[in-house]
Amino acid sequence: MVETEWLNDDQQRAWRSWLDANAQLTVALHRGLQASSGLSLADYDILVALTDVPERSLRMYEIGDRLQWEKSRVSKQVARMAARGLVRRRECVDDRRGAFVDLTDEGQAAIEAAAPDHVDLVRSAVFAGLSAEQVATLAEVTDAILQRLAEIEGGDAEGGRRAAS
């Protein structure tokens, strides 16, 4: 039996800080979006994924892969967004089990309206308190973590913004 190598004090402090910062930032981003635009963070994440591609359309599984979400979560979120006119679900003629999610004009308008306040909150909550060197270090650290996760899971290092929580 392999003996567990526990985190040392510095690692434990860093790990707990990471978890706390991630949780608090997620809540702040969600509340900020809700207050300024009526969008949830989940809405925003899907809208960003759709605006990141020229066709403004992705397969349901592609959204799940990009956001690291389970199939049922994507399906439920897309249904809520479709009911509000932000996206449209379109069946895939080549694969009866698959579907596309298309960004509507209403969805495009919603993300364009929400993005400035969202960026202001991200800048204020994360980057305003960091030096240029700390921003570079943050990028290096998160890139290294994503690379390690890709190696462990055999996945894509660029895959999801929230691969672990």
- Which residue ranges make up each domain of the chain? 19-129, 131-165
Per-residue pLDDT reduced to its tens digit, 55-100: 999 999 999 999 999 999 999 999 999 999 999 999 988 777 789 9
Please provide the DSSP assignment of 37-63 as one string.
HS--HHHHHHHHHHHTSTTSEEEHHHH
Q: What is the pLDDT of residues 1-26, one digit of tens each?
A: 889 999 999 999 999 999 999 999 99
Q: Please list the helix, strand and coil fractions of the chain in percent, rounded to the nearest 5, in that order.
A: 65, 10, 30
pTM for the model: 0.85
Local structure of residue 158 (DSSP, 8 states): T
The span from the CA of 156 to the CA of 78, in Å, is 24
- In CATH, the architecture of 19-129 is Orthogonal Bundle (1.10)
Q: 52 CB contacts (<8 Å, ≥6 apart)? A: none
Least Cα distance to 45 among 78, 19, 84 occurs for 78
